[in-house]
Amino acid sequence: MNPGQTKLANRQMLTRLSVFALIMFGFGFAMVPFYEKLCQVTGINNLLQPNLRPGGVANTQVDKSRWVTLEFDGNAHGMPWQFAPVQRSVRVHPGEMVQIAYEVRNTGNAAIVGQAIPSYGPKHAAEFVKKLECFCFKQQALAAGESRQMPVQFVIDPALPASVNTVTLSYTFFEVKGANASSAGKPG
């Protein structure tokens, strides 16, 4: 190949690569609305409209005609953690957004990974507590002596039976044996 042909071949290759790069950029750009539409149709992983997910909050109107007392409890099963709600109870209207916090402290001398498991009283109230944010969604790692506050944000579904005036939300932390403290969820 002579220098003129090499220059022409290089220019053609640059043109082809540029067109290919533009097509790939366009494809990547088009994937976002395609993915969102796919998630909306299937109802999976729909982070943009959590109320459309199965089990999401269907009606966020506040029922001002009634009050529900929410009581909170926390304990750590066989772990050197002190774990308790910042406030023991709140009084809310069904449909009202509630945010509370739990405080946890690792009193041991080693890092530990734990997972919180919720329980409800009365038991059937669980289906009416719609959590939007909760430390129980992932494992929590605490270094020795570390403490933090962890939020829980939820709504009591207005469809909660009128006979239920008090709901207890209790969390129990269990150690996750064999979990690596550096790979578990950090604050949150």
Q: Write the DSSP assignment of 149-173 as a string of letters.
A: EEEEEEEE-TTS-TT--EEEEEEEE
Burial grade of 168 (CB within 10 A; 0-12, 13-18, 19 or more): middle
Is the distance from CB of 103 to CB of 146 less than 8 angstroms? no
Task: Enter the pTM of the model.
Answer: 0.64
Sequential pLDDT tens for the chain (188 residues): 788 889 999 999 999 999 999 998 888 878 777 777 776 666 665 554 554 445 555 445 889 999 999 999 999 999 999 999 999 999 999 999 999 999 999 999 999 999 999 999 999 999 999 999 999 999 999 999 999 999 999 999 999 999 999 999 999 999 998 777 655 555 54
Integer Cα distance of 142 and 72 in angstroms: 22
> What's the DSSP call for residue 185?
B
For 50, the 3-state DSSP assignment is helix
Q: Which of 171, 188, 179 is nearest to 112 (CA)?
A: 179
For 13, the 3-state DSSP assignment is helix
Integer Cα distance of 79 and 117 in angstroms: 14
